[in-house]
Amino acid sequence: MVALLRYFVRYAPLVYLALALWALFSLRSLIRSVRERRNAIFGLEREMSQRRMALSVAAIVLIFLIAFGELVLQAFLAPSLPALSLLSTPTLNLLAVPTNTLPPEIAAQLGSAVPTEYPTAIVSGCIPGQIMLTSPKSGEQVSGDVLLTGSADIPNFGFFKYEVALAGSENWSTILAKRVAVQDGELGHWDTAQLTPGDYLLRLVVTDNQGNSLPPCVISVRIVGQ
């Protein structure tokens, strides 16, 4: 379902073009039916013209409804589509997470894994003023509740999220997502108390309002016991 909605968002110009052509064809058919009904002599001719008029009006109404649905999809649903399909875990809704803690299933998965050795200062994909984590610093040791600061502000901004993974792993788990752009300010909090001490990767992902995600800002941190 999400893939289908993304398709309509991505190819919105083609959808509008097809609807416009269909509307022109239906309008032409409506005008022709009106003329035929006006010039009809026999009752059967009028009945057929009336039926074609009804079909043309129904088609125009359907075109309007489809165009309105496409507009609503682009304006209101498109920013949240990527967030709805980020995780296969049904218990996490990225844009409606009430707290800054990971779900128990994800915490157990990360907490039971054995951290691997990894360089303590990794930075990639960060763009100052647009996609940037300024705190914590890469290679920094953190514990407890960690305040994340930086920037998530790109042209045609849609939303941002920050994620965590064990160093050397590609199994990213979303901590929180927000739909408000941030410029050199507070992005949110990260509760590290649920995770086993060790090396982790933290990344900031920013997506525009068309569902396109830019390369994430990735840093490495080390969680230490309190």
Domain spans in the chain, listed from the N-terminal domain onward: 2-79, 92-223
- Least confident residue range of 46-50, 57-61, 104-108, 213-217: 104-108
Provide the mean pLDDT of the chain. Answer: 80
Percent of the chain topping pLDDT 70? 74
Q: Is the pLDDT of residue 152 over 90?
A: yes
- Contacts (Cβ under 8 Å, ≥6 apart) of 226: 143, 144, 193
Q: Is the pLDDT of residue 45 over 90?
A: no
How buried is residue 148: exposed, middle or buried, by Cβ count under 10 Å (0-12/13-18/19+)? Answer: buried
What fold characterizes domain 92-223? Immunoglobulin-like (2.60.40)
Q: Which two tokens stand for residue 151?
A: 């920037």
pTM equals 0.50
* 3-state SS record for the chain: CHHHHHHHHHCHHHHHHHHHHHHHHHHHHHHHHHHHHHHCCCHHHHHHHHHHHHHHHHHHHHHHHHHHHHHHHHHHHHHHHHHHCCCCCCCCCHHHCCCCCCCHHHHHHHHHCCCCCCCCCCEECCECCCEEEEECCCCCEECCEEEEEEEECCCCEEEEEEEEEECCCCCCEEEEEECCCEEEEEEEEEECCCCCCEEEEEEEEEEECCCCECCCEEEEEEECCC
- 79-103 CB burial, b ≥16 within 10 A, e <16: bbbbbeebbeeeebebeebeeebbb
Q: Is the pLDDT of residue 79 over 60?
A: no
Q: Is the pLDDT of residue 93 over 60?
A: no
- Least confident residue range of 25-29, 88-92, 132-136: 88-92
Q: Find tokens 């990767």 and name the residue.
A: 201
